[in-house]
Structure 1
Amino acid sequence: MSEHVPTPAVRRRGPRRRITALTAITLVAALGLHTAYAVADTGGGDGDTSRSGPQDKQGEQDTQETGVMRGLVDELVRDGVRPGALVATQERDGRTRTYAAGTADLATPTPVPADGQIRIGSNTKTFTAVVVLQLVGEGRIGLDEPVETYLPGLLRGEGIDGRGITVRQLLQHTSGLPEYVQAVAGDYAAFQHRYTEPRELIDMALEGKASFQPGERWEYSNTNYIVAGLIVQKVTGRPLGEEITQRIIRRIGLRHTYFPRPGEMTIREEHPKGYHADQPGKPLRDVSVSDPSSAWAAGAMVSTNEELNRFFTALLDGELLEPEQLKAMRTTVEATGHPSAGARYGLGLKSQPLSCGGVYWGHGGDIPGYETRGGVTDEGRAVSFAVTVLPGGLSDLQQIDDAVDSALCR
């Protein structure tokens, strides 16, 4: 497999303020929705989300950029397929803005909170990968050590042997491990309020056979990150959520980001409701109250768009990893079959070409109720979009990818 090692990220100064966790199901036809805007400008300070007036005080250029972003978020809810949309931007100087459109609740239409909490799905993988790579830097995990070293006997199945799968291959999705998610997505209603142990997810995966021999090619599998999370717990002797909290969330001052506790089903702070159709053609239903344990290390976390921007910015700035581990994370292989054209995948981090040149770095995530897309350029501009229903097909996903591209290239 070819590798792409980009130019190291530019260190930024100033104020700091599809990857799929669960298989998307085709959604119903457009709904008639109440639409409202919310715009906030936090100035890169303490995260204040007070509403701004219609005239942006930063000058004509900022006014134009605000108009562009309002247009992008409005477009995502225009056809009524997506109940709500939220976006946060972060400029090179650290200044942030948030925007929202649509409705936060189909039953009693209310404005979408400008930077409400959302389930971030597979963006969780990047958090998990960072913890693994921190442990690599501490000499406690070897990237090219087999899974067997840390979890002896765990991975055995048809064509599956943990003695031949490395930690790097888990993080890079080149292990060949079969996907467990179909078992969950096929009957999501049965899993929505059920706590699922990580080992149970591994058992679901091992009912299938290896997709290919380790290192042979790239293929996305959430199973890889369930195994990675178990390695973290085995090596540290502590819960994965605690390690993510101590090593990332508190380290960079994220106040609205968390790894749910076992059995925790509600979203803690103000949030738009997330919606899901159990089968194509069925009505959307509110799935905001859900047990995310079936996604665990691959997709359980909750955050906000603004804090996702902060996280990916801090990561690329070198605030979370030593240079050697960050370089390894940003060393990518071609993500053949990825729905986003030109995507390449490193160790829990995706690069995506921009129409204006260069790439942006991020991940993205799907989980019933929420779809997130976004990332950070090497020059320091960041954007994160979220919508409150999974995409119904590739065209829906492409529209969100296009919105990210437009926001970063504006």
Structure 2
Amino acid sequence: MNNTAEWLRIRLPELIAEHGVVGAQVAVLHDGEIVDAAAGVLNNVTHEPVTGDAIFQIGSITKVWTATLVQELVNEGLLDLDRPVREVLPEFRLADDQAASVITTRQLLCHTAGFEGDLFYDTGNGDDILVKYLERMADTEQTSPPGELYVYCNSGYVVLGRIVEVLRGKPFNTVLRERLIDRLGIDAATRHAEYAGRLCASGHDGMKLVEEKTPEGDSPAGSVLAMSARSLLAFVRMHLGTTEFDAMREIQVVTPDFGFGGGQGLGWILHDYDNGLSGLGHAGQTPGFRAYLRVIPEAGLAVAVLTNGGAALPVVRAVHGKVLGDLANLTLREPPKPPDVPVPIDLDKVTGVYRTRRADLHVTASEHGRVSVRGVLRDVADAPVVVEEYTGFRDDALIAVEPENGSHEVVVLCGRDGEGKVKWLHWGRVAVRQ
């Protein structure tokens, strides 16, 4: 991999300068060997340089770590993925008690449990943070019946973290450290207090330092875990070096097509490539951080890119294009773009008011056959109104006219009521027609 290492050493500083990224680490695993590179700064105030041993928040890539701890329980015969969660957690409560009584661990792993997912509760920093989190979930509403619809669900992974705690008899972060972090001999932080004394990246919104701290109660879903790109690939190397976790790679759900295809495994997101190879990975985002992981098991290849501010996606695509092309002969799919001739939108079936946990989305007809989506936050005084234009992408999807962070968002039109009207707007999360 000497050519790869040399390309990263030269090109990564150029890429982050071209695209306004504050700092970045890249690590590449191929046939058991890891090379890495770093560029930029950890903090735009101190200008301390990024090095290969600095730690970055990995966000929702943490979900693969949590799923790994769950799979260990399955392998040991301590957990059945297809039994109700309440058999392990009798205290698991939701607004819909019938739904809560039948939701399974597999549905939590696959994001098909159907309840609200973005519940970022601050439950302190003690050993009872997940207990308190589950107590606050008691009024959480369903967006869809259990098992019916894939909807990305952070809170489901907090429930999984609590399952790990109960069956191991220890706090989640202790289990994470003992069974994975220490086992792999890597340096990682599982609590905010553990950032102290480490060379630690700070998050940035664009190029501005972010002061916000993510609540630890969401830690099994990805609010805290931080490590270097090299350490992240040591975890991937463990997965590639054993059959113990192969079940996690099996497709569980064909997800709505947001322009890239693929599906959902147990924790892993599954990718398809145009040359017939398949892969897996995950991405992560916390305030000021974006993290990306791609793995091609058949090629013994993995790439991790960790960033702490700025327009990360063009840098990531450049790195993925070069590394996956050189080492696995893969060509990345082009990101979706609005078609030259928009697909007609059945306005009567799409327009209306849709609701998320935090906002109402007013979808109205616009010019040139487009629709306008006006987002209004609820219960937030003087909140700005966000208006975006979408055009027809497919018969079952819209696409944003303007890109954000280097990509055009695809919104899939899911479900139909008795009149043929769309029930859900789906972009990973969902908004429900009112």
TM-score (norm 1): 0.70
- Distance of aligned partners of 1:146 and 1:301 in 2 relative to their CA distance in 1, 3 Å threshold: same
Alignment partner of 1:174 out of 112, 135, 141: 112
Preserved CA contact (<8 Å) 2:4 2:323: no
- Distance of aligned partners of 1:108 and 1:236 in 2 relative to their CA distance in 1, 3 Å threshold: closer
Tell me the residue number matched to 1:264: 193
User: Where do residues 7-26 of structure 1 align in structure 2 (5 Å cutoff)?
Assistant: none
Long gaps (5+) in structure 1: 1-60, 185-190, 278-282
Q: CA deviation at 1:312?
A: 1.3
Q: CA deviation at 1:63?
A: 3.6
One-letter amino acid of the counterpart of residue 25, structure 2: L
Q: CA deviation at 1:335?
A: 2.6
Q: CA deviation at 1:127?
A: 1.1
Q: CA deviation at 1:243?
A: 1.4
Tell me the residue number matched to 1:218: 150
TM-score (norm 2): 0.66
One-letter amino acid of the counterpart of residue 180, structure 2: I
Alignment partner of 1:334 out of 234, 249, 254: 254
Tell me the residue number matched to 2:182: 250
Tell me the residue number matched to 1:234: 166
Residue 267 of structure 2 corresponds to residue 352 of structure 1:
no
Residue 29 of structure 2 corresponds to residue 109 of structure 1:
no
Write 1 or 2 for the structure with the bigger share of strand.
Answer: 2
Tell me the residue number matched to 1:297: 220
Separation (CA, whole Å) in 1 of partners of 2:110 and 2:94? 20
- Distance of aligned partners of 1:332 and 1:79 in 2 relative to their CA distance in 1, 3 Å threshold: same
Where 1:109 maps in the other structure, the secondary structure is coil
Cα deviation code 1:301-335 (max 9, x no counterpart): 1111011111112113226x2xxx52254334223
Cα deviation code 1:50-99 (max 9, x no counterpart): xxxxxxxxxxx83466226642563244232x21111111222x332211
- Distance of aligned partners of 1:345 and 1:194 in 2 relative to their CA distance in 1, 3 Å threshold: same
One-letter amino acid of the counterpart of residue 7, structure 2: G
- Distance of aligned partners of 1:350 and 1:401 in 2 relative to their CA distance in 1, 3 Å threshold: farther
Tell me the residue number matched to 1:274: 203
Residue 25 of structure 2 corresponds to residue 86 of structure 1:
yes
Q: State, as a whole percentage, how many aligned pairs show the same letter.
A: 25
Alignment partner of 1:363 out of 249, 266, 282: 282
* Bigger radius of gyration among the two: 2
Q: CA deviation at 1:113?
A: 1.2
Q: CA deviation at 1:271?
A: 2.8
User: Where do residues 150-161 of structure 1 align in structure 2 (5 Å cutoff)?
Assistant: 150-158=88-96, 161=99
Where 1:245 maps in the other structure, the secondary structure is helix
- Distance of aligned partners of 1:134 and 1:116 in 2 relative to their CA distance in 1, 3 Å threshold: same
Q: CA deviation at 1:135?
A: 0.8
Q: CA deviation at 1:218?
A: 1.1
Residue 18 of structure 2 corresponds to residue 74 of structure 1:
no
Separation (CA, whole Å) in 2 of partners of 1:213 and 1:163? 12
Q: CA deviation at 1:237?
A: 1.2
Q: CA deviation at 1:145?
A: 0.9
Tell me the residue number matched to 1:280: none
Separation (CA, whole Å) in 2 of partners of 1:144 and 1:214? 13
Tell me the residue number matched to 1:148: 86
- Distance of aligned partners of 1:171 and 1:108 in 2 relative to their CA distance in 1, 3 Å threshold: same
Long gaps (5+) in structure 2: 327-434
- Distance of aligned partners of 1:292 and 1:343 in 2 relative to their CA distance in 1, 3 Å threshold: farther
Aligned-CA RMSD value: 2.9
Query: Greater relative contact order (Cα 8 A, min sep 6): structure 1 or 2?
Result: 1
Greater Cα shift, 102-111 or 296-305? 102-111
Preserved CA contact (<8 Å) 1:355 1:409: no
Separation (CA, whole Å) in 2 of partners of 1:154 and 1:398? 41
Preserved CA contact (<8 Å) 2:251 2:263: no
Separation (CA, whole Å) in 2 of partners of 1:62 and 1:221? 40
Residue 321 of structure 2 corresponds to residue 387 of structure 1:
no
Where 2:193 maps in the other structure, the secondary structure is coil
Separation (CA, whole Å) in 2 of partners of 1:194 and 1:285? 24
Where 1:233 maps in the other structure, the secondary structure is helix
Separation (CA, whole Å) in 1 of partners of 2:216 and 2:300? 33
Tell me the residue number matched to 2:2: 62
Where 1:176 maps in the other structure, the secondary structure is coil
- Distance of aligned partners of 1:401 and 1:165 in 2 relative to their CA distance in 1, 3 Å threshold: farther
Cα deviation code 1:10-29 (max 9, x no counterpart): xxxxxxxxxxxxxxxxxxxx
Tell me the residue number matched to 1:406: 322
